[in-house]
């Protein structure tokens, strides 16, 4: 997916697209990624992705781990998480288990990295009978609906992002998982601005104390989580959901009751936020 793409690709034969909410998200059916990952198909999906921010491609249970990685590589460089291990034999493919406090907070993935992922792909393998939905929020809308005065203030701020406690448990020093990014980032392909602070990784504004930063950060987190900006996804086995890590945030609903929940995640390397 490159900035040189100027014309939308023609829809793949049999492909159907249905919007999932007024804010973001689209359901894609009529495609089998175990068989069809041609350049034309992938380009069509990439165009839909930029338009809708979140795509659910339904019915992909036949996609193997190798095939998921190969499909992901058509979108960019597969990244390997700095401290969460990959599935053995499949570098870059992570096994996501039951909801945790980290995944239940609104966040974008790995924003403590110098170049956080551009996008994430999550394939549902095993699901509980009930619960375990994932919610996505429109970070474009969260920024665009702020007052002009607050937008002007935020445009000049940067924030410090730090890895979670899992980084320390993996033996990484704090400096290795600490980065400073703009509070508002500009999407490299769409040119739109989005809020880029989140409750998992953002510590404070650069040049501010943690105590000074907390009230404004909490206000911004609340804007991202506004119901009218959120799409809530009820998973089906075989759902492959792709989301734009640069302009969305997500959170898992932790209501599985301890039932098994397994999803396979791949992230695609991004650029340094600007």
Active-site position among 52, 58, 105, 109:
109
Token pair of 83 as six digits: 């401290």
Active-site position among 43, 250, 261, 264:
250
Q: Which of 137, 184, 188 is nearest to 159 (CA)?
A: 184
Active-site position among 52, 107, 161, 181:
107
Is 151 part of the annotated catalytic residue set? no
Tokens 């894609």 -> residue: 28
CA angle, residues 56, 60, 66, in degrees to nearest 5:
115
Strands (E), the chain: 16-19, 26-29, 54-57, 78-79, 94-96, 119-126, 134-138, 158-162, 178-182, 184-186, 193-195, 202-205, 230-233, 240-244, 248-252, 262-268
Is 98 part of the annotated catalytic residue set? no
Is 200 part of the annotated catalytic residue set? no
Is 175 part of the annotated catalytic residue set? no
Residues that are catalytic: 107, 109, 250, 265
């Amino acid at each position: 997916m490159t900035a040189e793409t100027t014309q939308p690709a023609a829809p793949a034969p049999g492909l159907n697209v249905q919007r999932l909410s007024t804010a973001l998200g689209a359901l894609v059916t009529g495609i089998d990624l175990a068989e069809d990952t041609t350049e034309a198909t992938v380009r069509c999906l990439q165009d839909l992705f930029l338009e809708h921010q979140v795509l659910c491609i339904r019915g992909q249970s036949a996609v193997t781990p190798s095939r998921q990685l190969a499909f992901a590589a058509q979108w960019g460089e597969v990244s390997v998480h700095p401290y969460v291990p990959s599935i053995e034999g499949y570098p870059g493919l992570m096994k996501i288990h039951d909801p945790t406090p980290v995944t239940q907070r609104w966040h974008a993935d790995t924003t403590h990295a110098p170049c956080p992922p551009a996008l994430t792909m999550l394939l549902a393998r095993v699901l509980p009978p009930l619960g375990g939905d994932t919610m996505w929020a429109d970070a474009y809308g969260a920024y665009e609906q702020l007052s002009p005065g607050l937008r002007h203030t935020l445009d000049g701020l940067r924030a410090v992002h730090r890895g979670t406690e899992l980084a320390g448990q993996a033996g990484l020093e704090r400096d290795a998982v600490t980065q400073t990014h703009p509070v508002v980032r500009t999407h490299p392909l769409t040119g739109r601005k989005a809020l880029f602070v989140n409750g998992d990784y953002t510590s404070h504004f650069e040049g501010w104390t943690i105590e000074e930063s907390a009230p404004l950060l909490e206000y911004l987190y609340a804007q991202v989580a506004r119901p009218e900006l959120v799409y809530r996804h009820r998973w089906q086995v075989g759902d492959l959901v792709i989301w734009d890590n640069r302009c969305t945030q997500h959170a898992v609903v932790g209501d599985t009751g301890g039932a098994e929940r397994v999803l396979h995640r791949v992230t695609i390397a991004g650029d340094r936020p600007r």
